């Protein structure tokens, strides 16, 4: 999948601006350190595959410019979304859960 960050040169750890969240999360499939894979789709759907099990959810950007996810039947979370940059190139995204502080990083495949 093509990553199109159009002249964007963020620093590692910088917040993804609300107007770039959609571009960032749909830029490619993300692989996490635990082996899970996640794909975000432009229509707001997302699929997450871990240990051979796939789940489906949705993602959005709330009125405060935060990345949000919903996993049926009732799990909801909001995150600070930050760039992962190496050698001047965006290589992934870092998610920080606003309610628990839990952080995880996904790298584009």
Supply the pLDDT for residue 87. 87
Q: Nearest to residue 39, comparing CAs of 20, 62, 55, 53?
A: 55
How many Å apart are CA 32 and CA 53, to the nearest integer? Answer: 15
The 10s digit of each residue's pLDDT in 7-61 is 777 899 999 999 999 999 999 999 999 999 999 999 999 999 999 999 999 999 9
Mean pLDDT of the region 73-90? 93
Supply the pLDDT for residue 3. 60
| Phi and psi angles of residue 21, each rounded to the nearest 5 degrees, phi first | -60, -50
The domain spans of the chain are: 18-108
Instruction: Classify domain 18-108 by CATH number.
Output: 2.40.128.640
Answer whether 16's CB lies under 8 Å from 85's CB.
no
Q: Nearest to residue 103, comparing CAs of 87, 82, 75, 89?
A: 82
pLDDT at 1 over 80: no
Helix (H) or strand (E) holding 100: none
């Amino acid at each position: 999948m093509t990553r199109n960050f159009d002249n964007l040169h963020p620093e590692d750890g910088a917040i993804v601006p609300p107007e770039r969240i959609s571009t960032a999360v749909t830029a490619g499939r993300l692989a996490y350190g635990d082996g899970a894979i996640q794909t975000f789709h432009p229509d707001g759907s997302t699929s997450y595959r871990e240990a051979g099990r796939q789940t489906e959810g949705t993602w959005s950007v709330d009125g405060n410019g935060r990345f949000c996810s919903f996993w049926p039947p009732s799990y909801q979370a909001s995150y600070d979304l930050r760039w992962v940059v190496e050698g001047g190139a965006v290589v992934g995204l870092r998610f920080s859960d606003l309610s628990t502080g839990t952080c995880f990083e996904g790298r584009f495949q």
